[in-house]
Chain A
């Protein structure tokens, strides 16, 4: 009885649909396979919010009874409603609204960073816009190029507010907001400050949801081309775990196709001298981090310990919780560890002047660009990492070089910093880092072999997860959060003394790095994230070695160069520090 009360009937293009009360016209139409174009609307329901402020009006449809146009993304179905999505009025209405949006848009698609990834552009194509009948006054805002990670070109903003929803509701950073109103309104930072002056974490999630070129990652590929073209430079690449599970999407593969071998070949063809695996750095991170965790537990030092491999999350704690700067592990992230080792270990072994080495990381991440530029990681004029390109940028470089990615053979990483275990493979997903750390910490504490390496309770996609692991007499309490809003909740508990976790893994991006700000656009489709995630767990499952401390080349590195885990030398090279950042 109750259920029936809640169901209502409507007709869309003369097809009857029964839906629950509260369903929008857009959702109802989808149910019967009718497509309605949308722009500002973005369903991030899987991350807990829907951007639905209905201000672009590109999704209007005609209400047959009133003959009025209504925005289908926000208007809810009422009983007996009759809708036409393809009446002349609806079609013309959508076209007019899109033309109005285009009328003040800088029409420089040819050279725009988002070209062919831009939803405004594809909509213009879909709605067959060949002429724009209105002349709008163009905006004239300076382009913000101050941050190392993100460019903001307000002139390309269509005021959809997706970024505002992302930055405020999901990430709770609150850097972006609509300012002013009416004709003058813009989406901007407080007081129009440059991003570099705000508490932006450079997570890049706003870039992932921005439908236009208004928000984009800093394009670092020209610098990489220049380095590759310089015969005096020794150019080395490293590839992060999440890249291999997503880059295929840029070349027509299904989400979650692992393409490590092709990426390595592609980089070789681009002219890199050595190609190393960030996963090697991940294994090394785990050994250092597990050593630190065991030390903190056994010697009653600060707990919980928080993972520190996500730079956006580090930036977040520096801005928002400066009183908690002793909780993150002091370990550098895997990218920085591999970076510093190329400039020291590799350089010494091969007799190369570190100044001639250019370290380029391929990352799923926008924040890694800002991380590479951190002062702490650029000592004595030598940076651990010189340039960072995202998964998307690498795909573009390969296309630019006319490399037929699908036809590339599989090649292995170069040997010195190229070996990795299954534990490193799962670094790219939420829950993976802490599972990897647990595998190693277990054996460090007990001295016994860990038989069951799969900690299923740490896996999944829920925003906050908990797990308990018995290690002899110790019950290890593990917390996991991804998305900065979820991280905030765990941090508030720590601040208020309500947290009983020993260790917490935090990733700024929903899904972890598989959903990073530099990955192929997934537009809130959690199925894509799940496929990328599964691919990484499968990779782990099929590896002969699945514990970081079984990585022979890492062990050799300790033997030849670092001494033991946590040694003075290891601290010098592999650890870092954090400092309070001002917050605006």
Chain B
């Protein structure tokens, strides 16, 4: 009945060692440095899978519920792998009224993934967010830091094509 969260074997040993060294280098009450430790872990592993959160909880002698609480509280921590391009569709009231659900649907269709998932090529992740304070531009979609306003479902094709293009240029 072993829970897969307890299985640490999928975590890269070398990276764990680096994380351990980092934790050991911290002064004073290590529990106080939870956020720093999580940052470091995310920097090393790219995201914070559940078994890594449990690993950190045990290392710092904190409950895993507490660690998971902190990870889910801050939007800069990711529990799932994140793509190079993070597409966020605003689902706030103003955007919703202007058809944000259609936009989200289009993104999901094009990338063939649901929200909170990563595309097969590892390039894109999709999520929905609450009002980002750009209601005048509703509906709003962001890719990393770039904001796209008054987006129609058809525009999504162009946006994604643009980022795919960037990748091709790079390679």
Q: What residues of chain A have their CB less than 8 Å away from a CB belonging to chain B?
A: 168, 173-183, 188-191, 193, 197-198, 582, 584
Interface centre among A183, A191, A197 (most CB of B within 10 A): A191
Verify A582–B2 contact, CB threshold 8 A. yes
Which range holds the interface residue count of chain B? 10 to 19
What CA separation (Å) do A188 and B66 show in the bound complex?
A: 10
The reply on B3 being an interface residue by CB < 8 A is yes
Chosen A-B contacts, 6 in total, with CB atoms closer than 8 Å, are A173-B63, A177-B63, A177-B65, A181-B72, A190-B64, A193-B5
Q: Which of B3, B63, B67, B72 contacts A175 (CB 8 A)?
A: B63
Verify A190–B3 contact, CB threshold 8 A. no
What CA separation (Å) do A188 and B3 show in the bound complex?
A: 18
Verify B50–A191 contact, CB threshold 8 A. yes
Give chain B's interface secondary structure class: helix
What CA separation (Å) do A434 and B2 show in the bound complex?
A: 37
What CA separation (Å) do A168 and B62 show in the bound complex?
A: 10
Query: In the assembled complex, how far is the CB of residue A184 from the closest CB belonging to chain B, in whole angstroms?
Result: 9
The reply on B130 being an interface residue by CB < 8 A is yes
The reply on B73 being an interface residue by CB < 8 A is yes
Known: A180-B72, A584-B5. 12 other contacts (CB 8 A): A168-B66, A174-B62, A174-B63, A174-B64, A181-B73, A182-B130, A190-B63, A190-B68, A191-B53, A191-B64, A193-B3, A197-B3
Proximity string of chain B (41-76) to chain A, C-beta cutoff 8 Å, 1 when within and 0 when not: 000000000100110010000111111110011000
Q: Which of A179, A193, A584 contacts B69 (CB 8 A)?
A: A179
What CA separation (Å) do A181 and B64 show in the bound complex?
A: 17
Question: Nearest A residue to B63 by beta-carbon distance?
Answer: A174
Report A-chain residues with C-beta under 8 Å of the C-beta of B50.
191
What CA separation (Å) do A174 and B53 show in the bound complex?
A: 15
Query: In the assembled complex, how far is the CB of residue A105 from the closest CB belonging to chain B, in whole angstroms?
Result: 21
Q: What residues of chain B have their CB less than 8 Å away from a CB belonging to chain A?
A: 2-3, 5-6, 50, 53-54, 57, 62-69, 72-73, 130
Verify A190–B130 contact, CB threshold 8 A. no
Verify A177–B130 contact, CB threshold 8 A. no
Verify A175–B65 contact, CB threshold 8 A. yes
With A183-B130, A584-B54 as known contacts, state yes or no: A190 contacts B6, CB within 8 Å. no
Question: Nearest B residue to A173 by beta-carbon distance?
Answer: B63
Verify A190–B73 contact, CB threshold 8 A. no
With A183-B130, A191-B50, A584-B5 as known contacts, state yes or no: A174 contacts B72, CB within 8 Å. no
Give chain A's interface secondary structure class: mixed
Verify A190–B2 contact, CB threshold 8 A. no
Query: In the assembled complex, how far is the CB of residue B85 from the closest CB belonging to chain A, in whole angstroms?
Result: 23
What CA separation (Å) do A93 and B72 show in the bound complex?
A: 31
Q: Which of A173, A174, A175, A180 contacts B73 (CB 8 A)?
A: A180
Report B-chain residues with C-beta under 8 Å of the C-beta of A168.
63, 66
Verify B6–A176 contact, CB threshold 8 A. no
What CA separation (Å) do A189 and B53 show in the bound complex?
A: 13
Query: In the assembled complex, how far is the CB of residue A579 from the closest CB belonging to chain B, in whole angstroms?
Result: 12
Query: In the assembled complex, how far is the CB of residue B154 from the closest CB belonging to chain A, in whole angstroms?
Result: 29
Report B-chain residues with C-beta under 8 Å of the C-beta of A188.
65
Question: Nearest A residue to B3 by beta-carbon distance?
Answer: A197
What CA separation (Å) do A582 and B6 show in the bound complex?
A: 8
Verify B72–A584 contact, CB threshold 8 A. no
What CA separation (Å) do A424 and B46 show in the bound complex?
A: 58
What CA separation (Å) do A71 and B54 show in the bound complex?
A: 36
Report B-chain residues with C-beta under 8 Å of the C-beta of A584.
3, 5-6, 54, 64
Report A-chain residues with C-beta under 8 Å of the C-beta of B68.
177, 179, 190-191
What CA separation (Å) do A213 and B1 show in the bound complex?
A: 30
Query: In the assembled complex, how far is the CB of residue A443 from the closest CB belonging to chain B, in whole angstroms?
Result: 44
Verify B3–A176 contact, CB threshold 8 A. no
What CA separation (Å) do A179 and B77 show in the bound complex?
A: 13
Query: In the assembled complex, how far is the CB of residue B69 from the closest CB belonging to chain A, in whole angstroms?
Result: 4
Report A-chain residues with C-beta under 8 Å of the C-beta of B63.
168, 173-175, 177, 190
Verify A176–B65 contact, CB threshold 8 A. yes
What CA separation (Å) do A539 and B6 show in the bound complex?
A: 48
Report A-chain residues with C-beta under 8 Å of the C-beta of B130.
182-183
With A183-B130, A191-B50 as known contacts, state yes or no: A177 contacts B66, CB within 8 Å. yes
Query: In the assembled complex, how far is the CB of residue A374 from the closest CB belonging to chain B, in whole angstroms?
Result: 14
Report B-chain residues with C-beta under 8 Å of the C-beta of A176.
65
Report A-chain residues with C-beta under 8 Å of the C-beta of B62.
174
Verify B66–A174 contact, CB threshold 8 A. yes
Query: In the assembled complex, how far is the CB of residue B107 from the closest CB belonging to chain A, in whole angstroms?
Result: 20
What CA separation (Å) do A162 and B130 show in the bound complex?
A: 28
Query: In the assembled complex, how far is the CB of residue B29 from the closest CB belonging to chain A, in whole angstroms?
Result: 17
Question: Nearest A residue to B75 by beta-carbon distance?
Answer: A181
With A183-B130, A582-B3, A582-B6 as known contacts, state yes or no: A189 contacts B72, CB within 8 Å. no
Which 8 pairs of residues, A with B, have the shortest CB-CB distance? A174-B63, A177-B65, A177-B69, A190-B64, A190-B65, A190-B68, A180-B72, A179-B72
Report B-chain residues with C-beta under 8 Å of the C-beta of A183.
130
What CA separation (Å) do A396 and B72 show in the bound complex?
A: 40
Query: In the assembled complex, how far is the CB of residue B129 from the closest CB belonging to chain A, in whole angstroms?
Result: 11
Report A-chain residues with C-beta under 8 Å of the C-beta of B67.
190
Report A-chain residues with C-beta under 8 Å of the C-beta of B2.
582
Query: In the assembled complex, how far is the CB of residue B99 from the closest CB belonging to chain A, in whole angstroms?
Result: 19
Query: In the assembled complex, how far is the CB of residue A187 from the closest CB belonging to chain B, in whole angstroms?
Result: 9
Question: Nearest A residue to B71 by beta-carbon distance?
Answer: A179
Query: In the assembled complex, how far is the CB of residue A351 from the closest CB belonging to chain B, in whole angstroms?
Result: 39
Question: Nearest B residue to A197 by beta-carbon distance?
Answer: B3
Q: Which of A179, A180, A182, A191 contacts B5 (CB 8 A)?
A: A191
Report A-chain residues with C-beta under 8 Å of the C-beta of B65.
174-177, 179, 188-190, 198
Report A-chain residues with C-beta under 8 Å of the C-beta of B72.
179-181
Query: In the assembled complex, how far is the CB of residue B21 from the closest CB belonging to chain A, in whole angstroms?
Result: 25
Report B-chain residues with C-beta under 8 Å of the C-beta of A191.
5, 50, 53, 64, 68
What CA separation (Å) do A175 and B73 show in the bound complex?
A: 17
Report A-chain residues with C-beta under 8 Å of the C-beta of B57.
190
